[in-house]
Amino acid sequence: MIITDTHTHLYSEAFEEDRSETINRAIEHGISRFFIPAIDSTYTNAMFNLERLYPDNIFLMMGLHPTHVKENYDYELKHVEEMLKSRKFYAIGEIGIDLYWDKTTLNIQQIAFKHQIRLAKKYKLPIVIHCRDAFDEIFQILEAEKGDDLFGIFHCFTGTLEQAQQAISYNMKLGVGGVVTFKNGQIDQFLEKLDLKHIVLETDSPYLAPVPYRGKRNESLYILKVLEKLSLIYNMSIEELAEITTENSKDIFNI
């Protein structure tokens, strides 16, 4: 059984003390594919180090996270472009718009999001979208950029059924993680109405740990709790779910 975690920040300082143990724990339980989103240039070397240690398991993305779109965003976008020219990445991400922390940067977040979507098209790569309190703003840009060359993952999807269907209409798969186990998560109320071909698994570790670990540091091993919840929702075995969602991840990342 191969399980894919399509979104995990394994280079995070939260894993400083036990990173190898955390990764090996997951691998021992069949979670052997880890897709690593970028945040900004300050984490690039840590991502490369992680890849060197686990070349068969770690797959890197490149991008500028919306909460890190600051006054120096031009410099950061140039770094993204330089990295894309220099080596292979599997997605542009995570990118998008976040209006939870800072609404004053909306304009430059929009600029950075559009620019990175166009980079993804240039390099024929998927995008991995971060959206927080910004569905309308995200959809407005996706509508303008839609086409066969726009595809990817709507990471940590927390919207409504209608928003899920809209995201899917833009060739996005939905990243489902710990939120599906939360009592107030709500997405568990309608997921069965969506074909599994639209779903990929993620943890977003070290964030958003599933029940019963909610509030603690998340790790890729806990994706098993997400699988348990989905097996109830879809009335399907964990093994079947792992196979289907891993195939879905291969459709997106082409590996």
Q: Please state the pTM of the whole predicted model.
A: 0.97
For residue 34, pLDDT over 90 is answered with yes
Class of domain 3-253: alpha beta
The amino acid at residue 60 is L
Q: What are phi and psi of 173, to 5 degrees?
A: -90, 160
Average pLDDT, the chain: 97
CA distance 105 to 137: 13
The percent of residues in the chain predicted with pLDDT above 70, rounded, is: 100
What is the length of the chain? 255
Q: In which residue are the tokens 């240690």 written?
A: 53
DSSP β-ladder status, 58-60 and 92-98: unpaired
For residue 185, pLDDT over 90 is answered with no
The percent of residues in the chain predicted with pLDDT above 90, rounded, is: 99
Computed on alpha carbons and rounded to an integer, the radius of gyration of the chain in Å comes to: 17
Residues 118-176 pLDDT 10s: 999 999 999 999 999 999 999 999 999 999 999 999 999 999 999 999 999 999 999 99
For residue 79, pLDDT over 90 is answered with yes
Yes or no: say if 229 and 188 are a contact pair by the CB < 8 Å rule.
yes
Mean pLDDT calculated for residue range 199-204: 98
Yes or no: say if 223 and 22 are a contact pair by the CB < 8 Å rule.
no
Cis before residue 94, ω within 30 degrees of 0? yes
Neighbours of 206 (CB within 10 A): 18
Crossing angle for the helix pair 73-86 and 106-122, to the nearest 10 degrees = 10
Any idea where the domains of the chain sit in the sequence? 3-253
